[in-house]
Amino acid sequence: MKKAIAFAGGVVALAAAAGASISYSGGVYSENFDGLQNVPTPFSATTGVQVAIPGVSGWEGTRWSGSSTTAMPYVSDNGASATGGIRNLGATGDSDRALGGLASGTNRPAWGAAFTNDGSEAIDSFTVSFDVEEWRRANGSTAVVNTTVFAWGLSTDGVLASDFLTSALMTLDSQGDLVSMDPIASTSAADVIANTPFISMISFTISGIDVPVGETIYLRWQDVDNTGNDAALAIDNFSFRATFVPSPGAAFLLGMGGLLIARRRR
């Protein structure tokens, strides 16, 4: 199930409670979600209130939409459950886990992470890579292919740490969407795909941004309620890396240094 994702560089992360972010100063941040804990119901009854996902520092979840007025479930599951909520997915008894969700009319989950630039220069691009896994296929006579919608945002555009999982200021980007396999067109029980959950690996780069030191990049997945019984989709083997651009002053000094060297060689 695991697919290796390897880049040059170190891993930089900071433990975080709800509302906190992952500290990033270079190299590669990676998370395989194998530390996910089975805590029955850690999510607030209030829609939009973000709660730290147990066992993976810096990641948060919420009910971004839905009719329920009780706390949203967090389920450790092998794909058998049809209850809407955040999912800690993996084969029963297996430490190899993935982070995902399953939407219903009452609970539509969202999850994601925030990366704060704690380097010495501005970030001008970032690359995200992860595996897409499906642990339960959608089913029903009118079932449709399910999509968990990805979005990214920047604190410099007004996105806040307290509401990035629901903020309208985030930028939708289908490059990071989780798309299910074809649903089962019947009303029989949905398939549990415990032996073959992997669908594909996704990797893409967002460029042309300006994230100064101290500002934050937000990543989010929102699961929508589809017709029929929904699929359980998840991410695994996640990695994040960014590129830094020298400040104008540093670029000027670098250019002057090259000019002086050239003059000395004459």
Q: How many domains does the chain have?
A: 1
Question: Residue 16: which pLDDT band, with cuts at 50, 70 and 90?
Answer: very low
What integer is the mean pLDDT of 62-70?
A: 95
Question: Residue 199: which pLDDT band, with cuts at 50, 70 and 90?
Answer: confident
What integer is the mean pLDDT of 83-109?
A: 94
Sequence-distant (6+) residues with CB within 8 A of 258 are: none
Residue 2 has pLDDT above 90, yes or no: no
Give residue 196's identity as a one-letter amino acid code: T
The answer to whether residue 14 is domain-embedded is no
Contact assessment for residue 36 and residue 48, using Cβ atoms and an 8 Å cutoff: no
Q: Which of helix, strand or coil describes residue 110?
A: strand
The answer to whether residue 152 is domain-embedded is yes
Question: Please, how many CA atoms are within 13 Å of residue 132, restricted to the half-sphere of its CB?
Answer: 20
Identify the domain containing residue 121 by its residue range. 22-265
The reported pTM is 0.85
For 90, phi then psi, to 5°, come to 170, 165
pLDDT tens-digit profile of 133-187? 999 988 877 778 899 999 999 999 999 999 999 999 999 999 999 999 888 776 5
Bridge partners, residue 239, by sequence: 30, 129
The answer to whether residue 15 is domain-embedded is no
The answer to whether residue 249 is domain-embedded is yes
What integer is the mean pLDDT of 109-135?
A: 97
The answer to whether residue 17 is domain-embedded is no
Calculate ∠ Cα 153-86-66, nearest 5°. Answer: 80
How far is the C-alpha of 264 from the C-alpha of 110, rounded, in Å? 59
Residue 259 has pLDDT above 50, yes or no: no
Give residue 252's identity as a one-letter amino acid code: F
Q: What is the pLDDT of residue 32?
A: 97
The answer to whether residue 1 is domain-embedded is no
The answer to whether residue 135 is domain-embedded is yes
- Paired tokens of 128: 């995200």
Question: Residue 197: which pLDDT band, with cuts at 50, 70 and 90?
Answer: confident
Residue 266 has pLDDT above 60, yes or no: no
Q: What is the pLDDT of the chain when averaged over all its residues? A: 85
Contact assessment for residue 104 and residue 84, using Cβ atoms and an 8 Å cutoff: yes
Q: What is the pLDDT of residue 166?
A: 97
Q: What is the pLDDT of residue 38?
A: 85
Strand bridging mode 85-89 / 22-24? unpaired
The answer to whether residue 175 is domain-embedded is yes
Residue 238 has pLDDT above 70, yes or no: yes
DSSP label at 191?
A: P
Going by C-alpha positions, the residue among 94, 98, 93, 80 that lies closest to residue 32 is: 98
Q: What is the pLDDT of residue 227?
A: 85
How far is the C-alpha of 63 from the C-alpha of 40, rounded, in Å? 15
What integer is the mean pLDDT of 12-25?
A: 64
